[in-house]
Amino acid sequence: MLSPTHRRATLLASGVAAAGLLLGSLTGGVSHAATDHESCRPDGLYKTAGVDVPYCSAYDTEGREKMGADHQRRVIGYFTGWRTGKDGTPAYLASNIPWNKVTHINYAFGHIDSGNRLSVGADGPNNAATGMTWPGVAGAEMDPAYGYKGHFNLLNKFKKQHPDVKTLISVGGWAETGGYFDDSGKRVNSGGFYSMATNADGSVNQAGIDTFSDSAVAFIKKYGFNGVDIDYEYPTSMKDAGNPLDYPLSNARRAGLVKGYAALMKTLREKLDRAGAADGRHYMLTVAAPSSGYLLRGMETFQVQKYLDYVNIMSYDLHGAWNEYAGPNASLFDDGKDAELAAANVYGSQQYGGIGYLNTDWAYHYFRGSMPAGRINIGLPYYTRGHKNVQGGTDGLWGKATATTCPAGSGLTKCGDGAVGIDNLWHDKDDNGKESPAGSNPMWHAKNLEKGVLGDYLPKYGFGADTRLTGTYARRYDSTLVAPWLWNAEKKVFLSTEDEQSVARKADYVVDKGIGGTMVWELAGDYGWNAAKGQYEPGSTLTSLMYDKFRTATPYGAKVSNKALPTKAVNIGVEFGEFKLGDSNYPITPKVKITNNTRTTLPGGTEFQFDYSTAAPGNASDQSGFGTKVISSDHTGGNVGGLKGDFHRVSLKLPAWQTLAPGASVELSFNYYLPVSTPWNWTVNIGGTTYALAGDLARGTTVVEPGTNPSPSPDPTNPTPTPTPTPGACAAPAWSPATEYGSGSTVSHTSRTWKAKWWTKGEEPGTTGQWGVWQDLGAC
């Protein structure tokens, strides 16, 4: 979300990420007739146990979202609450939205108040969301059917005319993740997401989460929203990530932020599911997710994806004035020349595999590793980023612009020389009211700069009658990056832009990859040409272009796997954990815990296979004797021009001596070098039959016991519990510290059965560790 000193971070050099987004849910008027809603559940989406979630109100029987006959892919627009026109600058109201061209609207923003409740502030005539009016403005007349006014009234008024469009309340953003602005406009450093979800000691704040989630359900019902969009910037263990104003609180909680985030998403999903079942409509849950490899490295495997209807990737702010490197705001691909990555030796590192990770294609593939393409939306900026005093590069591209001082409150000690003045029309302010140099402009202003036009709106942004244009803003375009920019050679100003050529190419990419759609920050930045005035103004050129590209597209990809997987699944759990924190987490070396929740002992040598994303090179391994190896890859080598496929396939086997009894677990140390989302598409071969794993939540699978027919309870979200052993049923002799035990001997101890891997005497079972002499065969 754009806000003061918006910044992004890289994988090796600290920084922070950017901008805001998310999306929607369903339509009303849903029948309560008996429906097989499981047939409409999107592939991989978590279902709350015991709840008949009305998926078919929002999804078809292939698990694809129903958005209207002319909307095969999503066009999600952020609509901000602060462009009211009351400050003299041009207003952007609900009546300005191209309602027939979009599928979802995310209202930015709601916040978390000091009581951990979702809020937009106190009601009153100055409250833009619920109380403000615009007398005499065509299209802004209030609908008397609602007990509130403001933007929320207008959004619902136009939704009546466009019932396929869904609205979500987006919560947080850059400025209000760790606090909120009170009714006087002063920021209250309340803790926001950081303290609502995570206690000071790093534990989960379930009471705060429950309060917020209950209030969110009540909020969307009161104001007619279709769901909740969480823009938490950022639940990562990387130090100094997010808004510098939040550092005193966020940095102290880093070790617990990911757990709190996961608990928040699970709780919200379940409360929305229960409310939806009661109301006969599916309520959506989405997030704005970072695209920065640095931030994602500290978010473990982004294990919240299973709770989300879909994710909106903030695939912009990839370069900007938070550092000195002049590059594209939102390139589609890597070109192998990114100056920031080159300075960090990313291209020369064998471990990185030559993969450049500051581009939309990389970010998409990160999430593709654990989600269907159709549950992912890529982000596009309707605003610019830019530097001044750029030295070197090609027409500024990959040049440098080093600042002598950094903006107050930015948290940076070294930054870039950001563009200012007429090259920074949407000038965010710091806490002292001083402009933050960033080269931030709506795209319609950038188009006027390109055309050499001084728009008549300039006085409203504080520019006097003596304002003149210096130099020429020449448009440049790189087809490998899919990135346009403006280069003013006289001023040495570089402004990264978007226009019809780049957006058309990105729309084609969405169609070709089967991606769910696009999200834009923000709708007010789009442009249209006013021939009467001879200038560009707020319009819908880029949004209309995407609509035209998508309306006749094939349906989006609805399955996680590109290959057919077994329809029978078994209850074997897999969990990635024990991630190192912050800058200690490279390489990435989590423990993988496999738990046998079936009633069948898995023999030594049992093979597991899974996929992980090609966003990381195919060099994953383990250090635990499981023989982990990549057995096939959809992409090898660097990623100039894009990753050619989605998955690496991995095989690992239980060691020959390592059986896994019912209820028992085993761990291995996994090792990889670029962040990936949760590895998915697991299979296990038991007795010559290959099964899926229930935890992948795949559509059309039935949970079975290995070697049997399907169990009577096929719900993969509610697996059969491990049977409780009968007390006193341990068949093996009790362990004795005085007895010698040879290899293969079994004993009982602490109500569990143990097998000796080699000769032993006096070593108590349960105290020798996973790699010690005693192997845990499970409860007895």
Burial of 24: CB neighbours in 10 Å, binned 0-12, 13-18, 19+: buried
Q: Which pLDDT does position 407 carry in this prediction? A: 82
Q: Which pLDDT does position 7 carry in this prediction? A: 34
Distance CA 700, CA 73 (A): 24
Residue pair 456/533 in contact by the 8 Å Cβ criterion: yes
Q: Which pLDDT does position 727 carry in this prediction? A: 40
Q: What's the Cα-to-Cα distance from 5 to each of 238, 461, 522, rounded to whole Å?
A: 19, 19, 17
Mean pLDDT over each residue of the chain, to the nearest integer: 91
Among 133-147, 178-192, 729-743, the minimum mean pLDDT is found in 729-743
Residues 6+ apart with CB under 8 A from 503: 380, 542, 545, 546
Split at pLDDT 50, 70, 90, the class of 391 is very high
Distance CA 506, CA 518 (A): 9
CATH code at 740-779: 2.10.10.20
Burial of 601: CB neighbours in 10 Å, binned 0-12, 13-18, 19+: middle
Distance CA 118, CA 211 (A): 9
Q: What is the mean pLDDT of residues 343-362?
A: 95
Instruction: Enter the pTM of the model.
Output: 0.88
Statement: residue 6 has pLDDT above 50: no
Q: What is the pLDDT of residues 53-98, one digit of tens each?
A: 999 999 999 999 999 999 999 999 999 999 999 999 999 999 999 9
% of the chain beyond a pLDDT of 90 = 82
Q: Which pLDDT does position 767 carry in this prediction? A: 78
Q: Which pLDDT does position 729 carry in this prediction? A: 64
List the alpha helices (DSSP H) in 18-57: none
Backbone angles phi, psi at 442, to 5 degrees: -65, 150
Q: Which pLDDT does position 20 carry in this prediction? A: 31
Split at pLDDT 50, 70, 90, the class of 770 is low
Residues 6+ apart with CB under 8 A from 234: 16, 17, 177, 241, 242, 290, 295, 299
* Stretch (H or E) spanning 685: strand 680-686
Domains of the chain, by residue range, sit at 1-318+359-382+500-559, 385-497, 568-703, 740-779
Among 136-150, 224-238, 417-431, the minimum mean pLDDT is found in 417-431
Q: What is the pLDDT of residues 473-499, one digit of tens each?
A: 999 999 999 999 999 999 999 999 999
Q: Which CATH architecture has domain 1-318+359-382+500-559?
A: Alpha-Beta Barrel (3.20)
Fold of 568-703: Immunoglobulin-like (2.60.40)
Q: What is the pLDDT of residues 560-601, one digit of tens each?
A: 999 999 999 999 999 999 999 998 998 999 999 999 999 999
User: Residue holding tokens 């070294």?
Assistant: 414
User: String of b and e for 104-137 (b: at least 16 CB within 10 Å)?
Assistant: bbbbbbbbbbeebbbbbbeeeeebbbbbbebeee
Statement: residue 249 has pLDDT above 60: yes
Q: What is the pLDDT of residues 144-192, one digit of tens each?
A: 999 999 999 999 999 999 999 999 999 999 999 999 999 999 999 999 9
